[in-house]
Amino acid sequence: MASISNRAPATASRLHPLPVIADLPQNIILPCATLGVLAAPALLARDWIFLFAKGKETVCEPSGAALADYEKAHALWKAASKEERAQMEKPVKPIAEKVPAVPRARFHAGLWELTSKLIDGNFPNWRQVMPQFDNPAIVTFTPEQAGQLRTVLAQWPKVKIDNDAISLALPGTGLRLSDQNGTLHMLPGVRSSVPIGITVNRKLLADAMALGTPVLRLFSDQDPLDFRIGLVRVILMPLRGTAVVVEDTAKLSAETQWLGCTVRLPDKHEGEVIAISRNGGKLVATVGDPPRPAIQRVPLETMKLLSRPVLAAA
């Protein structure tokens, strides 16, 4: 549960974010309710000061009522005969109990202060699922475009059968939003460094957009969407089995040049190019090698052409 209060800001001597977050673990997990409160316009309009407190282990002394109950029970036990004591359990005096430290996250935004608990457990190892390519497609938004996208997502029509999937097609300039029910919306002006598309969960995308104006990094339609707003980073997993059609002249040209060709890979294996796709700013090939499963994501410049397919006579 997150708690929020509107009060006068703490004195400058109490707001020292750098020493306080020195003990911050590599990752912390906040409740969704906390992120919802932080997305409120009153907080988004201000700079945040973030503080992390590990908390301290405390000692909880037994209550007066517990001690009084013990004294009564102990007096009865002492007054009992030896035979009666054999049938009774000897009272145990209450002792102080140690209460484990409870870490908290605190956010200061102007007059507002938000204090939130943290979720126990280990944060998912999202780095493990991120591609290793260092040249993703970059998608940028202006604040006006981000506001338009938030409005579109909030007003997206509901249908009886809805898996919350929404496809983003980015041909280079402009953003085309669509779903499997035929709903289509165009958002002009959004720029992508290369043509690319992806399908994600619409509700999760709306939650991420509520945090501000993002910069998106995409590697392919089958890789996680890297969603960044300042220091905030959101990883959205793609929905499988939902192809996004984006006109890509460079990809079409590469398919004409490479599909069906026999190539040699850097590891000396040979195989046939069976598909061309994008991984961020690079075009890569899927190479079929009969002794092994298909080899994914081989950059075109790393392959050596051995032979082209023989065209059958008309």
Which pLDDT value is given to residue 10?
A: 42
| Residue 266 contacts residue 226 (beta carbons within 8 Å) | no
Q: 140 pLDDT band (50/70/90 cuts)?
A: very high
**How many domains, the chain?**
4
pLDDT at position 295 over 80 = no
Whether residue 150 sits in one domain with residue 132: yes
Whether residue 108 sits in one domain with residue 13: yes
pLDDT at position 205 over 90 = yes
The most confident of 9-18, 212-221, 276-285, by mean pLDDT: 212-221
Q: 311 pLDDT band (50/70/90 cuts)?
A: low
Whether residue 229 sits in one domain with residue 142: yes
Rounded mean pLDDT of the chain? 80
Whether residue 201 sits in one domain with residue 144: yes
Would 132 be classed as within a structural domain?
A: yes
Q: By percentage, how much of the chain surpasses pLDDT 70?
A: 83
Nearest of 216, 194, 219 to residue 133 by alpha carbon: 219
C-alpha pair distances (Å), 36 with each of 1, 18, 81, 202, 206 = 12, 25, 64, 16, 11
Would 271 be classed as within a structural domain?
A: yes
Whether residue 111 sits in one domain with residue 92: no
pLDDT at position 150 over 60 = yes
The most confident of 17-31, 124-138, 166-180, by mean pLDDT: 166-180
Which pLDDT value is given to residue 146?
A: 93
Measured torsion, CA atoms of residues 10, 11, 16, 21, in degrees rounded to the nearest 10? -20
Q: 215 pLDDT band (50/70/90 cuts)?
A: very high
Q: What is the mean pLDDT of residues 156-164?
A: 76
- C-alpha 18/C-alpha 15 separation (Å) is 9
Which pLDDT value is given to residue 23?
A: 57
Using one digit for the tens of pLDDT, what is the confidence trace for 27-78? 677 787 887 787 777 777 777 788 888 778 888 888 888 889 889 988 888 8
73: containing domain: 58-97
Question: Which of residues 236, 264, 288 is at a domain's end?
Answer: 236
Lowest mean pLDDT among 142-146, 174-178, 215-219, 228-232: 228-232
